[in-house]
Amino acid sequence: MINYYKVLRVPPNATDAEIKRAYRRLAKKYHPDLHGGSEEATKRFALIVEAYEVLSNPQERAYFDKQLAKAIYGDESKGSIFSSDNYYARKLRQIALEKRYNQIIDEIINVERKEVLALQKIIFPLVGLFLSIFFVAIFRPRFFANSNLFTKIILFSLFITGTIHLLSRLKDGIQKYTYKERLHDSIFEEFSESRSYSRATALMFILFGMAISATTGVLIGNYIEMFVSSSMPGLFSPTFQFEFILYPPIIVLLVDFIHSFTSRD
């Protein structure tokens, strides 16, 4: 039985990210075009692709691990209790296989959970940024200008902290989920990155989302200006104020803090 872990040169407990990295590295190294299209290189490359297709699929990987465990017990335990047809030996093998299978499933679930949480760390701040810009553009609060010095210091400190936090989250998300550039017209293009969007596209999406949020908010704010100004006298500004840029990073910081607190184990 072919051990796909050995083919990709990764341990049996390798994460999905480690398997992807190993696949891309080996695919680049053993691509047939680098070896004159030889039959041996083609077979090795096909085996690498086959190994990745199996190990990158949670269901197929779980089944492969189960079969690999059976093969290991059969090959490495000849003459021992593991190769015996005794009832207790069969029962012991069954328990060992079930334990290993459950461990694999738990590892897969844990990896998927970590990937979901990592994705949420970029989605929540991004959605919070768009919504905060939208609502600030509608209600145009003048809270900072009407506050005392102590409150202004607190708000400005939160703005600095929120801005650093937001930029850090956006940077991590862009590095993790986008690629820097594509190698067009290259035999390695399909192996260069498994990510779907370029960093330029991601940045354009963020800027476009901010612009749409601000424009939509301004249009709605202009439409309900009379109602908002009458319901919030002294706190609504009909014109743009510099303090408006303070609020989105603060709101994102608070929203992300609440999300991080509620998602803790």
pLDDT values of the chain reduced to their tens digit, one per residue, 265 residues: 788 999 999 988 888 888 988 888 888 888 877 777 778 878 888 899 899 999 988 888 888 888 887 776 554 444 444 455 555 556 666 666 666 666 766 776 777 777 777 788 888 899 999 999 999 998 888 888 888 999 999 999 999 999 999 999 999 888 888 877 544 444 444 444 456 678 888 899 999 999 999 999 999 988 887 776 677 666 777 778 889 999 999 999 998 888 778 776 5
Structure tokens at 106: 């738990």
- The C-alpha atoms of residue 26 and residue 44 are separated, in whole angstroms, by 10
Q: Whole-angstrom Cα distance, residue 166 to residue 122?
A: 9
Q: 173 near 122, Cβ under 8 Å?
A: yes
**pLDDT at site 226:** 74
Q: What pLDDT score does 158 carry? A: 95
The domains of the chain are located at: 4-107, 115-262
- Residue 86 gets the label, from left (phi > 0), alpha (psi -120 to 50) or beta, of beta
Is pTM beyond 0.75? Reply is no
**CA distances (Å), origin 163, targets 10, 17, 155, 213, 247:** 39, 30, 12, 18, 10
pLDDT of 70: 73
Distances (CA, A) of 150 to 123, 155, 169, 242: 33, 9, 29, 19
CATH code, 4-107:
1.10.287.110
Residue type, 247: Y
Distance CA 4, CA 10 (A): 9
> Diameter of the chain by CA atoms?
89
Side-chain half-sphere CA neighbours of 190 within 13 A: 4
Residues 6+ away with beta carbon under 8 Å from 167: none
Across 57-162, the runs of DSSP E, i.e. the strands, are: none
Looking at residue 249, its pLDDT comes to 95
